[in-house]
Amino acid sequence: METVRCDRSFATAILAILNDAILNTTAVWDYRPRAPESMSQWFDAKEANGFPVIGVVDGGALCGFATYGTFRAWPGYKYAVEHSVYVDAAQRRRGYGQLLVRELLRVAAEQDYRTVIGGIAADNAASLRLHEQLGFVRCGTIRHAGYKFDRWLDLVFMQYLLPTPAHPRGD
């Protein structure tokens, strides 16, 4: 098993993992699977902003991926990112999620971010446990923030503070 930087050649595998999460979990609050052509825009946005897409490959197959993006679009939030981590349904509980998040935190520190935020459905006990084990702390819960699978979903915010940047600037 190894972590890799995912480029567009991973688009089909990433999309399969993401669409499974859309259809079968509360990890993504979309209702419909994304089309293959959406991946081009997705990678364009990641590349334009310098956001990594990290994958874990085992036996030649992509087992999961993680990335982050803008937390909020105002300049004062420039040191905060919101991350996502997805593991193929058949590959869960093998340590891939932990490996992906650890690598994502390492890259976020290299890129001089201060905080990595996760928005996690309150019913996603495995993800909440994973993040707590990695040192994320719960920052709050927004009740009934979303609606999926014919029920209201609560959103738990979790945060990891990095030691970076050494010299933040407010301009």
pLDDT tens track, the chain, 171 positions: 899 999 999 999 999 999 999 999 999 999 999 999 999 999 999 999 999 999 999 999 999 999 999 999 999 999 999 999 999 999 999 999 999 999 999 999 999 999 999 999 999 999 999 999 999 999 999 999 999 999 999 999 999 999 999 999 998
160: which residues sit within 8 A by CB, 6+ positions away? 105, 115, 116, 117, 131, 134, 135, 136, 137
Distance separating alpha carbons of residues 22 and 167, to the nearest angstrom: 39
User: How many angstroms separate the CA atoms of 130 and 86, rounded?
Assistant: 12
Q: Hey, which residues does 86 pair with through a beta bridge?
A: 65
Q: Domains of the chain, with CATH numbers?
A: 2-161 (3.40.630.30)
